[in-house]
Structure 1
Amino acid sequence: MKTIKCMMDHLYWADERILHALEEGEIKNKELLKLVRHVAVAEQVWLSRLQGKGSTQYSLWEEAEELASIRTMFEQNAEQYRTYIAGLEESELDVMIDYTNQSGVPFQTSVRDILLQVLLHGQYHRGQINRALRIESAEPVQVDYITFARLK
């Protein structure tokens, strides 16, 4: 449980650093904002599934007009994940969750694997976002786990 909690803290930290870099660079690139929004919405989708709720109301690849609304999503995600993780016992990590994906296909996945998906999915896309920042002539931001760990 300690490792997952620490990795989730890294996720909140990395999300915040990416948002800050986008704000500082005054990025308006619609495709880049769409990708950032995708990360936020994917976090919501998986949390909804962990909570036993449906996720079909979420649109994973919708355009975003402004960064402020994406920031709000990330802030709400962090708050809700912190609450979820705080109430989670080690023994619950292997509980299987039944859910339907965005295409309506049923799956069953452990809480542990869902949380790892959230963590790894975000890291993957943060790499893409950093590459896009460089293309936009903005400064990429360091979001590696080791950088986070050195700050603790």
Structure 2
Amino acid sequence: MKSIKGMMNHLYWANRRILDALEENETMNNDILKLVRHVAVAERVWLSRLQNKSNAHYSLWEEAEDLIVIRTMFEENAEQYRVYIEALQESELDEMVNYSNMSGVPFRTSVRDILLQVILHGQYHRGQINQALRIASAEPAQVDYITFARI
């Protein structure tokens, strides 16, 4: 549990850093905003699956116009994941979750693997966002795990 909690804390920190970089650089490219929103919504979708709730009302790839709305989503996600993980027992990490993907295809995945998916998915897309910042001659956010671990 300690590793999962540490990696999730890194996720919350890295999400804030990437949002801060976007605000500081005033980089509001529609493609970047759409990608940032995608990460926030994907976190919500996976949490709904973990909680055995419907996620049919979520759309992963909608246009986004407001970084403040996206930041609020990330803050709410962080709080909801903290509550979920605090209630989670180590033995529950290997429990299987039945869910359907956004196309309706059924799957069965462990809680541990779902949490790792959330962690790695966000890191993948933060790399893409940082690349877009560089292309726009803006300063990327340092979001490496080791930077987080050193603080």
**Bin for the TM-score computed over the shorter chain:** over 0.9
**Contact 1:49–1:99, Cα closer than 8 Å, also in 2:** yes
Length-normalised TM-score, structure 1: 0.98
Give the distance between the partners of 1:121 and 1:20, measured in 2 at CA.
19
* Superposed structure 1 runs of 4+ greater than 6 Å apart: none
Letter in 1 for 2:86: A
Residue 14 of structure 1 deviates from its aligned partner by 0.2
Counterpart check, 1:93 vs 2:98: no
Among all aligned residue pairs of Structure 1 and Structure 2, give the percentage whose two residues are the same amino acid: 75
Aligned residues: 151
For 1:59, the equivalent position in structure 2 comes to 59
For 2:68, the equivalent position in structure 1 comes to 68
RMSD of aligned C-alpha atoms? 0.5
CA offsets, 1:95-127, max 9 Å, x none?
000001100001000000000000000000000
Give the distance between the partners of 2:125 and 2:14, measured in 1 at CA.
11
For 1:141, the equivalent position in structure 2 comes to 141
The residue correspondences of 1:40-59 to structure 2 (distance < 5 A) are: 40-59=40-59
**Contact 1:54–1:100, Cα closer than 8 Å, also in 2:** no
Any stretches of 5+ residues in structure 1 without a counterpart? none
SS in 2 for 1:107: strand
Counterpart check, 1:22 vs 2:22: yes
Length-normalised TM-score, structure 2: 0.99
Any stretches of 5+ residues in structure 2 without a counterpart? none
**Contact 1:32–1:129, Cα closer than 8 Å, also in 2:** yes
Residue 54 of structure 1 deviates from its aligned partner by 1.6
